Amino acid sequence: MMVIQDSASEARARQQEAETSGADADALNQLGIKYRSGKGVPRNIRQALEAFLQAANQGHVGAQFNLGLIFSSGEDLPIDYARAIAWYTKAAEQDYVRAQFNLGVIYSNSEVAQHDIAQALLWFRKAADQGHVGAQNCMGRMYINGSGVAQDFAEAAAWFEKAAQQGDPAGQNNLGMLYGNGKGIAQNDKLAAHWYRKAATQSYAIAQFNLALLLEQGKGTEKDLVEAALWYEKAAEQGNIRSQCRIAAMYESGQGVTQDFVQAAKWYQRAAEHGNGKAQYTLALMYDEGRGVTADGSAALAWYRKAAEQGQVDAQFVLGLRHDCGQDTAQDQQQAFAWYRKAALQHHARAQFNLGLMYEFGHGTAADMVEAYRWYTLAEANGETKAAAQKAYLEEKLSTEQKQLAQASARAADKG
What pLDDT, on a 0 to 100 scale, did the predictor assign at position 404? 86
Q: pLDDT band at residue 261, thresholds of 50, 70 and 90?
A: very high
- pTM for this prediction: 0.86
d(CA 345, CA 352): 8
130-155 confidence digits (pLDDT tens): 999 999 999 999 999 999 999 999 99
215-233 confidence digits (pLDDT tens): 999 999 999 999 999 999 9
Q: Which residues, in sequence order, are CB contacts of 47 under 8 Å at separation 6+?
A: 16, 32, 35
What b-and-e string marks burial along 215-238, b requiring 16 or more CB atoms within 10 Å of the CB? bbeeebbeebbebbbbbbbbbbbe
Average pLDDT, rounded, for the chain = 93
d(CA 137, CA 146): 14
Residues 311-326, mean pLDDT to the nearest whole number: 98
73-119 confidence digits (pLDDT tens): 988 899 999 999 999 999 999 999 999 999 999 999 999 999 999 99
What pLDDT, on a 0 to 100 scale, did the predictor assign at position 415? 64
Q: Which of 287, 281, 341, 329 is nearest to 307 (CA)?
A: 281
What pLDDT, on a 0 to 100 scale, did the predictor assign at position 49? 95
Q: Which is more confidently placed, 412 or 91?
A: 91
Q: Which is more confidently placed, 223 or 14?
A: 223
d(CA 327, CA 335): 13
Residues 55-60, mean pLDDT to the nearest whole number: 97
Q: pLDDT band at residue 396, thresholds of 50, 70 and 90?
A: confident
Q: Which of 360, 315, 357, 317 is nearest to 336 (CA)?
A: 317
Q: Could you tell me if residue 43 is left (phi over 0), alpha (psi between -120 and 50 degrees) or otherwise beta?
A: beta
What pLDDT, on a 0 to 100 scale, did the predictor assign at position 23? 67
SS3 label, residue 151:
coil
d(CA 348, CA 342): 9
Q: pLDDT band at residue 408, thresholds of 50, 70 and 90?
A: confident
* Mean pLDDT lowest among 34-38, 87-91, 191-195, 236-240: 34-38
Residue 295 one-letter amino acid? A
Q: How many percent of the chain have pLDDT more than 70? A: 94
What pLDDT, on a 0 to 100 scale, did the predictor assign at position 19? 47
Start-to-end CA distance of the chain, whole Å, equals 97
Q: Which is more confidently placed, 234 or 17?
A: 234
What pLDDT, on a 0 to 100 scale, did the predictor assign at position 348? 98
Q: How far is CA 192 from CA 23, 210, 392, in A?
A: 54, 9, 55
Q: How far is CA 318 from CA 62, 323, 326, in A?
A: 61, 9, 12
Q: pLDDT band at residue 416, thresholds of 50, 70 and 90?
A: low
What pLDDT, on a 0 to 100 scale, did the predictor assign at position 34? 96
d(CA 213, CA 408): 44
Contact 277, 307 (CB under 8 A): yes
Report whether pLDDT(403) > 90.
no
- Cite the DSSP H helix spans in 58-132: 61-73, 81-92, 97-108, 117-129
198-211 confidence digits (pLDDT tens): 999 999 999 999 99
d(CA 15, CA 410): 83
Residues 294-314, mean pLDDT to the nearest whole number: 98
What pLDDT, on a 0 to 100 scale, did the predictor assign at position 12? 47
d(CA 11, CA 13): 5
What pLDDT, on a 0 to 100 scale, did the predictor assign at position 4? 28
Q: pLDDT band at residue 13, thresholds of 50, 70 and 90?
A: very low
